[in-house]
Chains A and B, each alone.
Chain A
Amino acid sequence: QVQLQESGPGLVKPSQTLSLTCSVSGGSISRDGYYWTWIRQHPERGLEWIGYIHYRGSAYYNPSLRSRAAISVDTSKNQFSLNLISVTAADTAMYYCARYGDGLGWFDPWGQGTLVTVSS
């Protein structure tokens, strides 16, 4: 079955760029009907969607993060990535990648998550 795994630095300095990659295994990222998604969760708080991308490259972002977030896809590596620029302590969170089934409206599966701390 499809599995997702996040990777990237656990510590990022303020004003720098947070870069994460989600590796997809057990299935191809190049399938219609799915969007590949980044979601974050601040400590002891709820879920916030960051954005999502289709394998053909069309991407959508949470309006609150649109000016700082960029999601890209690499079909040759079966991966998609998140760049978040100009980070502050408010970007400290657990970051999850997940597959979204369009026409079904669910996130499944999820990666295990990776904690990113923004601190000097």
Chain B
Amino acid sequence: EIVLTQSPGTLSLSPGERATLSCRASGGGKSRYLAWYQQKPGQAPRLLIYGASTRATGIPDRFSGSGSGTDFTLTINGLEPEDSAVYYCHLSNDNPSWAFGQGTRVEIK
């Protein structure tokens, strides 16, 4: 069984700063795909990044993803007020089996 651990739990940053979110995988089979989602209150999650580093259509280039294997990172450069949200990572492996991380809340001061 895959377990995804996101850190930190909450980030409180000012506009213009950089946010670095971590997602670490353990257990399960060979990791296949890592994606990141943004969820704002009262909304469904929105796809940001897939394949660990490919931005989804319409996602600003201040969002970037990196990593492979068991360690992945979502970076948001030049934070804007509308980036206030909870960010989730999701991993699929070759079992097939899936897992979501528990989320990182990004607060804009």
Name A residues whose Cβ lies closer than 8 Å to a Cβ of B. Answer: 46-49, 60, 62-63, 96, 101, 104-108, 110-113
Contact = CB atoms under 8 A, between A and B. Distances in A.
Given A46-B88, A47-B88, A106 B47 contact: yes
B1 A63 contact: yes
B92 interface: yes
Given A111-B44, A112-B44, A106 B50 contact: yes
Contact of A104 (B45, B50, B97, B103): B50
A107 B35 contact: yes
Contacts of B33: 104-106
A107 B45 contact: yes
Contact of B101 (A46, A49, A106, A112): A46
Nearest to B1: A63
B47 A113 contact: no
Q: How large is the interface on B (under 10, 10 to 19, 20 to 34, 35 or more residues)?
A: 20 to 34
A49 B1 contact: no
27 contacts: A46-B103, A47-B37, A47-B45, A47-B100, A47-B103, A48-B100, A49-B98, A60-B96, A60-B97, A96-B44, A101-B50, A104-B50, A105-B32, A105-B33, A105-B34, A105-B51, A106-B33, A106-B35, A106-B47, A106-B50, A107-B35, A107-B37, A108-B47, A110-B44, A110-B46, A111-B44, A113-B44
Contacts of A47: 37, 45, 88, 90, 100, 103
A112 B99 CA distance: 21
Nearest to B32: A105
B102 interface: yes
B56 interface: yes
